[in-house]
Amino acid sequence: DQQVKQNSPSLSVQEGRISILNCDYTNSMFDYFLWYKKYPAEGPTFLISISSIKDKNEDGRFTVFLNKSAKHLSLHIVPSQPGDSAVYFCAARESGSNYKLTFGKGTLLTVNP
Amino acid sequence: DVKVTQSSRYLVKRTGEKVFLECVQDMDHENMFWYRQDPGLGLRLIYFSYDVKMKEKGDIPEGYSVSREKKERFSLILESASTNQTSMYLCASSGPGEAKNIQYFGAGTRLSVL
């Protein structure tokens, strides 16, 4: 049973436009969410996170939105740059688990010049 | 910066061999993790450790074991490698308190079992 779902395997956008990556979850015990970016032949790198007590967190060009009632979060990248082309993973932590993250399958973002 | 180092970027092994994947972190992190990444399946947790000599099974522990004799080092062991263990293996670590939520990853080891 997949608890964190990224339903779009890939997304293509033009440079300078907004990229929106989506993530849905089913476990109501998740209380902390993260986005990671992964380039080929490299490990994932932490991008941005949000606690369930918030509905938005912003860091430069990256904003994460959380809609708890819909069990949905999204990552907005504005403006998109060719260097943003990578696989993006959504991850979630279950309340009380302390250590374990559950990852989605990832979305490949391609930003075209 | 946190540095997580995996000893090999690429490994080729034969079916039935015993395989050791090594991971070292330099930030005195309590928690360390082993994942495998496969196309279309994302990252799946194999084992994790929250202290020296402590370990817990993740989602897919079958066919694997781990060792954590020192805080900075976490080893993944394939007792008898099989072709279905061909994958990208990723090690990660996280710190105490609120920092435990953020895991830092190594560059990965791509293992091929022939």
CB hemisphere CA count around A50 (13 angstroms):
21
Cβ B41–A89 below 8 Å, yes or no? no
Cβ B41–A105 below 8 Å, yes or no? yes
Chain B residue with CA closest to A91: the answer is: B43
The answer to whether A100 contacts chain B (CB < 8 Å) is yes
- Which of A99, A100, A105, A108 to mutate to test binding with chain B, by most B CBs within 10 Å of its CB? A99
The overall average pLDDT reported for chain A is 94
Residues 6+ apart with CB under 8 A from B102: A34, A46, A49, B94, B95
In chain B, what are the domain boundaries?
A: 4-113
User: For chain A, how many structural domains are there in total?
Assistant: 1
pLDDT digits (tens, 9 = 90+) for A31-83: 999 999 999 888 999 999 999 999 999 999 999 999 999 999 999 999 999 99
- Which tokens belong to A96? 């009380």
Q: Which domain holds residue A106?
A: 4-112
Do B82 and B114 meet the contact criterion of CB atoms below 8 Å apart? no
Which residues does chain B have within 8 Å of residue A34's beta carbon, measured at their own beta carbons? Answer: 101-102
Chain B residue with CA closest to A33: the answer is: B101
**pLDDT greater than 90 at residue A103:** yes
**Which superfamily does B4-113 belong to?**
Immunoglobulins (2.60.40.10)
Chain A residue with CA closest to B29: the answer is: A99
**What mean pLDDT do residues A14-28 have?**
97
**pLDDT greater than 70 at residue B98:** no
The Cα–Cα gap between B107 and B8 comes to 9
**What mean pLDDT do residues A69-98 have?**
93
The Cα–Cα gap between A98 and B107 comes to 24
**pLDDT greater than 90 at residue A99:** no
pLDDT digits (tens, 9 = 90+) for B6-28: 989 999 999 999 999 999 999 88
Which residues does chain B have within 8 Å of residue A53's beta carbon, measured at their own beta carbons? Answer: none
**pLDDT greater than 70 at residue B62:** yes
**What mean pLDDT do residues B90-102 have?**
83
Q: Tally DSSP H helices, then E strands, for chain A.
A: 0, 11
Cβ A44–B33 below 8 Å, yes or no? no
- Provide the pLDDT for residue A42: 87
- Provide the pLDDT for residue A2: 84
Which residues does chain A have within 8 Å of residue B43's beta carbon, measured at their own beta carbons? Answer: 44, 89, 91, 103
Task: Give how far B46 is from chain A: nearest CA, Å.
Answer: 11
Residue A67: CATH number of its domain:
2.60.40.10
Confidence of residue B56 (pLDDT cuts 50, 70, 90): very high
Cβ A89–B50 below 8 Å, yes or no? no
**pLDDT greater than 70 at residue B64:** yes
Confidence of residue B96 (pLDDT cuts 50, 70, 90): confident
- Provide the pLDDT for residue A96: 78
Among B53, B69, B63, smallest CA distance to B19 is for B63
- Provide the pLDDT for residue B2: 66
- Provide the pLDDT for residue B40: 83
